[in-house]
Amino acid sequence: MTWAAVLLVTAVVWAVSVIRSVRVRAFVYSLPLPMTLALLTTGHRVDGPQLLGVVGLNLFFVTVAVTHRRLRWPILLADLAGVAVYVALSAGVLAAPVPFEVALAGTVALWALTMVLLRRRAAAAPPPEPADARRDGLAAPVKLVVIFVGALLTGLLGELLRGMVVTFPYSGVLVAVEARRQLAEFSRHFARNSLALIGFLAGHHYLQDTSPALALAGGWAAFALVSAALHLPRRRPARPAAHPGPERAAPRPGGRPLPGPERSAAT
Per-residue pLDDT of the chain (267 residues; tens, 9 = 90+): 577 777 887 888 888 888 889 999 999 999 999 899 889 888 889 999 999 999 999 999 999 999 999 999 998 899 889 989 998 998 889 888 899 999 999 999 999 999 999 999 877 665 555 554 444 445 666 667 777 776 676 667 666 777 888 888 888 888 888 888 899 999 999 999 999 999 999 999 999 999 999 999 999 999 999 999 998 876 655 555 555 555 554 555 555 555 555 444 444
Of 68, 17, 34, 65, the closest CA to residue 154 belongs to: 34
Model pLDDT, residue 244: 53
Q: Residue 226 and residue 198: Cα distance in Å, rounded?
A: 9
Contacts of 219 (CB under 8 A, 6+ apart): 32, 36, 199, 200, 201, 202, 203, 204, 207
**In the prediction, which pLDDT does 267 show?**
47
pLDDT, residue 70, reads 92
Confidence at residue 170, expressed as pLDDT on a 0 to 100 scale: 80
Residues 6+ apart with CB under 8 A from 44: 38, 50, 162, 163, 165, 166
**Cα separation, 5 vs 253, whole angstroms:** 79
Instruction: Find out whether 48 and 102 touch, Cβ atoms under 8 Å.
Output: yes
Whether the model clears a pTM of 0.85, i.e. scores above it, the answer is no
**Closest to 9 in 3D by CA, of 46, 40, 42, 35:** 35
Answer yes or no: are the C-beta atoms of 201 and 46 closer than 8 Å: yes
Residue 266 pLDDT: 47
For residues 164 and 91, is the Cβ–Cβ distance under 8 A?
no
Question: Could you give the CA distance from residue 172 to residue 190 in angstroms, rounded to a whole number?
Answer: 11
In total, the chain counts a number of residues equal to 267
pLDDT value of position 133? 45
Distance CA 63, CA 67 (A): 6
Contact predicate 250/266, CB 8 Å: yes
Given this model, what pLDDT does residue 136 score?
45
